[in-house]
Amino acid sequence: MTALLDIRDLRLGFRTLAGQIDVLHGIDLAIRAGEQVALVGESGSGKSVTARIILGLLQETRSARVSGRVGFDGRDVMMMSPKERAALRGIEMSMIFQDPTSSLNPTFTIERQFAEVMRRPDRKLTRAACRERAARMLDEVSIPDTGRVLDAYPFQLSGGMNQRVMIAMALANNPKLLLADEPGTALDVSVQAQTLDLMRDLVTRHGTSVLFISHNMGVVREFADRIYVIYRGRIVEEGPTPAVFADPGHAYTRALLKAVPRITGRGLPDVPEVSDDFFDPMVRHGGTS
Amino acid sequence: MTLLRVSDLSRTFQTANGPVHAVRNVSFDVQRGECLAVVGESGSGKTTLANMILGILTSSSGDIAFKGTPLPAKRTPAQRRAIQFVQQNPLSSLNPKRSVGASVRLGLDTYGIGDRADRTRRVEAALESVGLPGDMRRRAPAALSGGQRQRVGIARALVCEPELLVLDEPTSALDVLVQARVLRLLNDLRRDRGLTYIFITHDLAVVRNVADRVAVFRAGELVEIGSTEAIFSSPDHAYTRRLIGAMPVVDDTELDLRNRLAEGT
Ligand SMILES: Nc1ncnc2c1ncn2[C@@H]1O[C@H](COP(=O)(O)OP(=O)(O)OP(=O)(O)O)[C@@H](O)[C@H]1O
Ligand SMILES: Nc1ncnc2c1ncn2[C@@H]1O[C@H](COP(=O)(O)OP(=O)(O)OP(=O)(O)O)[C@@H](O)[C@H]1O
Ligand SMILES: [Mg+2]
Ligand SMILES: [Mg+2]
């Protein structure tokens, strides 16, 4: 079975005043149709930039140098023109950004932002139809009081409400691939569980593939079929979720799992920040890709 | 000693669709040197409460007293310095046009902390204490990852040498290893400098491991407050049990405990 997303040898560097900063050192990552894949790892290791490259956003940043192959649905995003990439975004693939208030436009109401998204594939959608569909989407992410929220500006909503709005918007056009960058961080645990269940329902029903970026290992365990672990711009481990949790093969993955705080309360874990074996070669669990 | 006393505090927002009661008649104390966790569902009023404690937002009614003195709507520089904030949203809380270093340095200049020559060193030390290289001060916020920005927010508050630190989801964008490091740093500062924290978070496992007491909010009201031990051995309120029951966990011991607490057995 061919992959919907097939990334090969992806490299990224930034040109800065202080010289070149290399961020991604040759990443391979694939997602099959309907598969939910998690990308976990160190803060600053390159998760968000990977998502931005898949969306074709970083290719348009002047200071960024990107190379490699980003296969999506049989085409290479790297070879597309900016216009072709723009035509994919929000329709074939969409993203839930890490920072909700910065990706929602502060000067427009939520209703207006929904309308903009929903009119991209269908310019003729009426205002009433947009509002009705937006209300239904908000309802599906368990936002109460959908009328108030549609008329609100982002600053009038709590952090978590904005995040649910973004999830609803990202799914509004039924994309083939959803890139979810820490979609639950501003949500309380009950809403988070609910929202992720809902997201999982929606994506299973529509066969949407998901690249799920998260620091919450408990959530990853519940949500993902397969996991990639990234450390300093290199994938260090890959495998089915149960295998990685039961038998983490790479030193970095082991340290990461050990550092997860537990409600059983054993205090703050005492684990090394960096260790030589974090740079060991990648570990692959069998039976995949 | 009571460092902060919140009495009968309320805040209502007027909107086109009628009033929103974001915080209603909330009262609690914070003792010097303690870490009080504030938890509760999304939209329950946690950030609104924080904004009032910080003086960013005025209250509709009620009082906030700091070291026995009621805080006025317009704070003195000393009062502003004493209570610092780490905001929920790391990107929008940093000025995009300012370098990271300039943002961190702002508090030092405003409150006249250290002499001029010494301020760059203080900025670098603060960045390093949260696990960022000191020379990252030259970068723009847009050239940082989410977790790096979040740590800049913590560094920016710490350089002001506050007495009370209000942290709104301070580690939500960090991997658990870096999170452990930042939490340990916060613990050390509490021990060494007698710092006090109001720690707003959705992560109950973090609460379990760092807080002395927990305040549970729902729809603007304080529904339960008690020691961390008590909340995690016999949560009183059904809503608290529901929050605990929804927690994602990573192993079976945790799963058992979670399910027992959630069922109230
Ligand atoms: N400026 C405002 N105008 C109108 N309503 C507001 C405003 N700020 C907050 N609210 C409303 O007040 C309520 C409480 O919001 P607040 O941001 O305090 O929640 P929170 O507990 O911090 O939630 P989260 O966990 O999602 O961050 C929400 O219903 C929100 O929509
Ligand atoms: N415009 C830029 N110029 C220079 N360096 C950059 C730029 N944008 C990002 N970086 C660096 O690239 C690295 C990867 O960033 P990215 O945002 O992908 O991290 P991340 O894995 O998503 O981390 P987090 O979990 O903290 O969000 C970081 O070290 C960051 O500082
Ligand atoms: Mg990121
Ligand atoms: Mg909030």
pLDDT band at B84; cut points 50, 70, 90: very high
pLDDT band at B50; cut points 50, 70, 90: very high
Contacts of A18 in chain B (CB under 8 A): 135, 138
Closest to B181 in 3D by CA, of A274, A44, A279: A274
How much distance in Å is there from the Cα of B44 to the middle of ligand 4?
8
Residue of A nearest to B245 (CA): A190
Reading the block at residue B24, the tokens are 């209603």
Closest to B94 in 3D by CA, of B56, B140, B40, B138: B140
**Which pLDDT score, from 0 to 100, does residue B168 have?**
92
pLDDT per residue as tens digits for the range B56-81: 999 999 999 999 999 998 999 999 99
Contacts of B140 in chain A (CB under 8 A): none
Any A CB within 8 A of B236 CB? no
Judged against a pLDDT cut of 90, whether residue B265 lies above it is answered with no
Three-state SS sequence of chain B = CEEEEEEEEEEEEEECCEEEEEEEEEEEEEECCCEEEEEECCCCCHHHHHHHHHCCCCCCEEEEEECCEECCCCCCHHHHHHEEEECCCCCCCCCCCCCHHHHHHHHHHHHCCCCHHHHHHHHHHHHHHCCCCHHHHHCCHHHCCHHHHHHHHHHHHHCCCCCEEEEECCCCCCCHHHHHHHHHHHHHHHHHHCCEEEEECCCHHHHHHHCCEEEEEECCEEEEEEEHHHHHHCCCCHHHHHHHHCCCCCCHHHHHHHHHHHHCC
Query: In chain A, where are the structural domains located?
Result: 1-92+178-289, 97-174
Total Cβ atoms within 10 A of residue A185: 27
Does the distance separating the beta carbons of A216 and B248 come in below 8 Å?
A: yes
Does the distance separating the beta carbons of A192 and B202 come in below 8 Å?
A: yes
pLDDT band at B28; cut points 50, 70, 90: very high
Confidence check on the interface: ipTM exceeds 0.90, yes or no: no
Report, as ranges of residue numbers, the positions in chain A whose pLDDT lies below 50: 288-289
**Which pLDDT score, from 0 to 100, does residue B150 have?**
87
Length of chain A: 289
Distance CA B126, CA B121 (A): 9
pLDDT band at B178; cut points 50, 70, 90: confident
Ligand 1 site: residues with CB under 6 angstroms? A 155-161, 186, 188; B 13, 15, 20, 22, 40, 42-48, 88
| Spatial contact of B4 and B55, defined as CB atoms under 8 Å apart | no
The answer, yes or no, to whether any atom of ligand 2 lies below 6 A from the CB of B145, is: yes
**Which pLDDT score, from 0 to 100, does residue A288 have?**
46
**Which pLDDT score, from 0 to 100, does residue A185 have?**
65
**Which pLDDT score, from 0 to 100, does residue B226 have?**
95
The phi and psi torsions of B62 (rounded to 5 degrees) equal 100, 175
CATH 1.10.10.10 fits A1-92+178-289, yes or no: no
Q: Which residue has the higher pLDDT, A282 or B247?
A: A282
**Which pLDDT score, from 0 to 100, does residue A83 have?**
93
| Spatial contact of B241 and B225, defined as CB atoms under 8 Å apart | no
Contacts of A216 in chain B (CB under 8 A): 203, 248
| Spatial contact of B46 and B215, defined as CB atoms under 8 Å apart | no
Distance from CA of B95 to the nearest CA of A (A): 12
Interface probe, candidates A148, A188, A231, A257, chain B, greatest B C-beta count within 10 A: A188
How much distance in Å is there from the Cα of B43 to the middle of ligand 4?
7
Across the beta sheet with B18-31, the strand order is: B18-31, B2-15, B61-66, B69-70
Contacts of B16 in chain A (CB under 8 A): 151
Interface probe, candidates B127, B174, B202, chain A, greatest A C-beta count within 10 A: B202
Distance CA A172, CA A200 (A): 15
Query: Based on the number of CB atoms within 10 Å of its own CB, is A223 exposed (0-12), middle (13-18) or buried (19 or more)?
Result: buried
**Which pLDDT score, from 0 to 100, does residue A232 have?**
95
